[in-house]
């Protein structure tokens, strides 16, 4: 195996024997194969005259399945490979195709032989700059696919995004120059922005605009179900099915923003948020006592103490944990989880009190006058975008320290699970405007962009780069990659990215990003505050 798609990759170089995330080498190899034939399937579709919706849905699911910490289940990935091959075999025409598009065998030893040849591995591309750009684009597509799928289950999709995913997957099988790949990278960012916009419409039109919310982080006395991941539709179905069951529902990690949507607030059995970012789940899931539903990543290999209570659905999967399948209409039956919950103890209280959130674009626009006035009179001197992901490495403590040491005239704009590094610090407010404004999930970075664009208008400046906004973004997996590419495609400069720059960026590709966008890493809290803020 060789995988370097996430921030925690081994020695910031690449996981080779087993993933730091827990992914085994046989699963990693199958994922590489799945991506390779998904590119082949895309080529078959692009070369046809059809517009087969099932093809793009399949490719989106395959991409999503290979995101960091989403699916560790060998047999599920094997099934997806077989289903993809079946689809290719039924759609192939009498045309000239690449080897990936021509792959037709479901004989597993032949698949293994192909994997063992190294020809579908990331490292099969020998030119490290081409490899770097192709992987950067592929990871951007993975993040985009996740967002596209969340929108799709709510009945929203963008033809442009779908077509881009198809054509780009097919293009990645071809030889490309560095220049072509650099422009494809930026196009990937623009399409990522569109995918986030589509998901924002899907979420807000279905569940209402997020509003300022005080979220309970304590517990009640009933047994509960904990829902993690990003899929709001799964959350809604579970909430609805559990409403009269006597079982309470809690969010975990990236599901926290469900607490900000008006439609979910109406459920009396919806208690609040339990715990913190994804990487603390091994302790928190144990203390929760009840079943847990993972609707997407990030899964950490579970402890035996709760493994039989961990359920997965959608693109997520873990061997030995029950997977909940959707029927043809997308409906999922969560009764088994609800029944199991009834037999469990109530959650152990690990925290008390509340946290504040719900500052997505529509809510912030309502506060716009107040915000603009505070900037004009100097009460707010800077906004710091600290969106992105959290992770388990100790050096992420940087973000807590950074937030603590920021001048009191600054406001943090956040989205994604990065917020757990500072959302319980009680950083106070400026004229009633909280100093940490949480827009929601990582895809709600879209809201942060909307807020920046509104400020461009309000202050009559030329671009987002002339605003008092600095970017100190934490990344972990491929959804953060698409958010980053979206920002770059909008011309945002001077982004600081940490805790380390991606291992998949070759020195030359890093130079291009530095030259075009002045991207930089982070150093230490004191120096970064001095250089970025003061
Ligand atoms: Fe976090 Fe995981 Fe949302 Fe990611 S839970 S790390 S960027 O999946 O997607 O922010
Ligand atoms: Fe390693 Fe990250 Fe890949 Fe897991 S996803 S194998 S930690 S690079």
Cβ of 297 less than 6 Å from ligand 2: no
Burial class (CB in 10 A: 0-12, 13-18, 19+), 14: middle
Q: Report pLDDT for 189.
A: 98
**Cα–Cα distance for residue pair 240/311, rounded to 1 Å:** 18
Mutate to test the pocket of ligand 1, among 479, 497, 502 (most ligand atoms within 8 A of CB): 479
Kindly identify the ligand whose nearest atom is closest to the C-alpha of 143: 1
478, 479, 485, 483: which is closest to 509 by C-alpha?
Answer: 485
Q: Tens digits of per-residue pLDDT, 445-503?
A: 999 999 999 999 999 999 999 999 999 999 999 999 999 999 999 999 999 999 999 99
Question: What is the reported pLDDT for 516?
Answer: 96
Q: Which whole number is the average pLDDT over 315-340?
A: 98
**The pLDDT of residue 197 is above 90:** yes
Tell me the pTM: 0.98
Q: Which residues, other chains included, contact 390 with Cβ-Cβ below 8 Å and sequence gap of 6+?
A: 276, 277, 278, 279, 396, 399, 417, 418, 419, 420, 421, 474, 476
What is the tens place of the pLDDT at every residue in 278-298? 999 999 999 999 999 999 999
Do strands 354-357 and 213-216 pair parallel, antiparallel, or not at all (unpaired)?
antiparallel
The ipTM value here is 0.96
- The atom number, within ligand 2, closest to the CA of 9 reads 8
Beta strand ranges found along 80-234 (DSSP E): 213-216, 224-228
390 lines ligand 2 (CB under 6 A): no
Plot region of 293 (φ>0 → left; ψ -120 to 50 → alpha; else → beta) = beta
21 CA → ligand 2 middle, Å: 6
Single out the residue of 367, 478, 522 nearest to residue 143, CA to CA: 478
**102 C-alpha to center of ligand 1: Å?**
35
CA 157 to chain centre: 18
Q: What would the two tokens of residue 389 be?
A: 């992901």
- Residue 67 CA, closest ligand 1 atom number: 8
Q: Are 15 and 75 in contact (CB under 8 A)?
A: no
Q: 15, 135, 393: which to mutate for ligand 2, most atoms within 8 A of CB?
A: 15
pLDDT given for residue 49 in this prediction: 83
Which atom, in ligand 1's list, is nearest to the CA of 70? 8
pLDDT in tens, 30-86: 999 999 999 999 999 999 988 899 999 999 999 999 999 999 999 999 999 999 999
If you average pLDDT over residues 423-435, what whole number do you get? Answer: 97
Output the ligand 1 site: residues, CB below 6 A. Answer: 230, 253-254, 278, 297-298, 389, 416-417, 441-442, 476-477, 479-480
* Residue 159 CA to ligand 2 centre (angstroms): 31
Q: Tens digits of per-residue pLDDT, 380-408? A: 999 999 999 999 999 999 999 999 999 99
Mean of pLDDT values over 179-191? 98
Residues 6+ apart with CB under 8 A from 162: 56, 60, 148
Compute, in angstroms, the gap from residue 7 CA to the centroid of ligand 2.
8
- Centre of ligand 2 to C-alpha 28, Å, is 9
Selection from 130, 27, 35, 87 nearest residue 478 by Cα? 35
**Is pLDDT above 90 for 29?**
yes
Find the 254 Cα to ligand 1 centroid distance in Å.
Answer: 7
Query: Of the bound ligands, which one is closest to the alpha carbon of residue 438?
Result: 1
Per-residue pLDDT band at 97 (split at 50, 70, 90): very high
- The residue whose CB lies within 8 Å of the most ligand 2 atoms, and thus the one to mutate among 28, 65, 499, is 28
Mean pLDDT of 150-154: 98
Reduced to 3 states (helix: H, G, I; strand: E, B; else coil), residue 226 is strand
pLDDT digits (tens, 9 = 90+) for 346-382: 999 999 999 999 999 999 999 999 999 999 999 999 9
Tokens of 17: 């024997």
**Per-residue pLDDT tens over the stretch 232-275:** 999 999 999 999 999 999 999 999 999 999 999 999 999 999 99
Structure tokens given for 124: 């099969």
| Substitution candidate for ligand 2 out of 13, 68, 77, 300 with most atoms within 8 A of CB | 68
**Distance from the CA of 192 to the center of ligand 1, in angstroms?**
16
Give the pLDDT of residue 534: 79
């Amino acid at each position: 195996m060789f995988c370097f798609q996430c921030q925690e990759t081994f020695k910031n170089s690449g996981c080779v024997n087993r993933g730091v995330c827990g992914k085994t080498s046989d699963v990693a190899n199958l994922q590489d194969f799945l991506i390779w034939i998904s590119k082949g399937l895309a080529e078959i579709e692009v070369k046809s005259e059809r517009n087969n919706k099932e093809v793009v849905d399949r490719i989106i699911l395959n991409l999503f399945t290979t995101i960091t910490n989403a699916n560790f289940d060998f047999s599920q990935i094997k099934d997806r490979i077989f289903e993809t091959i079946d689809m290719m075999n039924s759609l192939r025409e009498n045309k000239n195709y690449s080897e990936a598009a021509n792959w037709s065998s479901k004989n597993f030893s032949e698949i293994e032989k192909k994997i063992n040849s190294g020809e579908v591995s990331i490292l099969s591309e020998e030119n490290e700059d081409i490899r770097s750009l192709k992987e950067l684009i592929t990871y951007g597509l993975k993040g985009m696919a996740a967002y596209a799928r969340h929108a799709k289950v709510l009945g929203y999709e963008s033809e442009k995004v779908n077509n881009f995913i198809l054509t780009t997957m097919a293009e990645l099988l071809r030889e490309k120059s560095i220049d072509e790949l650099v422009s494809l990278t930026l196009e990937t960012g623009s399409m990522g922005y569109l995918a986030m916009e589509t998901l924002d419409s899907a979420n807000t039109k279905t569940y209402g605009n997020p509003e300022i919310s005080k979220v309970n982080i304590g517990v009640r006395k009933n047994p509960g179900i904990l829902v993690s991941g990003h899929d709001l539709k799964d959350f809604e179905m579970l909430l609805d099915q559990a409403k009269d069951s006597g079982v309470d529902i809690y969010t975990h990690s990236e599901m926290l923003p469900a607490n900000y949507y008006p439609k979910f607030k109406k459920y009396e059995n919806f208690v609040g948020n339990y715990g913190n970012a994804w990487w603390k789940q091994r302790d928190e899931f144990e203390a929760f006592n009840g079943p847990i539903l993972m609707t997407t990543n990030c899964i950490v290999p579970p402890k035996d103490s709760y493994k039989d209570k961990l359920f997965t659905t959608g693109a997520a999967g873990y061997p030995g944990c029950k997977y909940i399948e959707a029927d043809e209409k997308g409906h999922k039956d969560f009764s088994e989880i609800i029944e199991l919950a009834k037999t469990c103890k109530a959650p152990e209280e690990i925290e008390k009190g509340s946290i504040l959130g719900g500052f997505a674009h529509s809510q912030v626009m309502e506060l716009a006058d107040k915000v603009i006035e505070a900037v004009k009179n100097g009460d707010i001197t800077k906004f710091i975008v600290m969106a992105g992901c959290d992770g388990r490495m100790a050096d992420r403590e940087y973000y807590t320290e950074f937030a603590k040491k920021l001048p009191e005239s600054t406001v943090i704009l956040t989205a994604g699970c990065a917020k757990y590094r500072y959302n319980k610090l009680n950083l106070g407010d400026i004229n009633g405007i909280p100093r940490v404004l949480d827009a929601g999930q990582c895809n709600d970075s879209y809201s942060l962009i909307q807020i920046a664009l509104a400020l461009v208008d309000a202050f009559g400046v030329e671009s987002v780069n002339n605003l008092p906004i600095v970017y100190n973004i934490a990344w972990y997996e491929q959804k953060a990659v698409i958010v980053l590419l979206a920002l770059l495609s909008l011309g945002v400069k001077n982004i600081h990215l940490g805790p380390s720059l991606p291992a998949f960026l070759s020195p030359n590709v890093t130079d291009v990003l530095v030259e075009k966008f002045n991207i930089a890493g982070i150093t230490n809290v004191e120096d970064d505050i001095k250089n970025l803020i003061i």
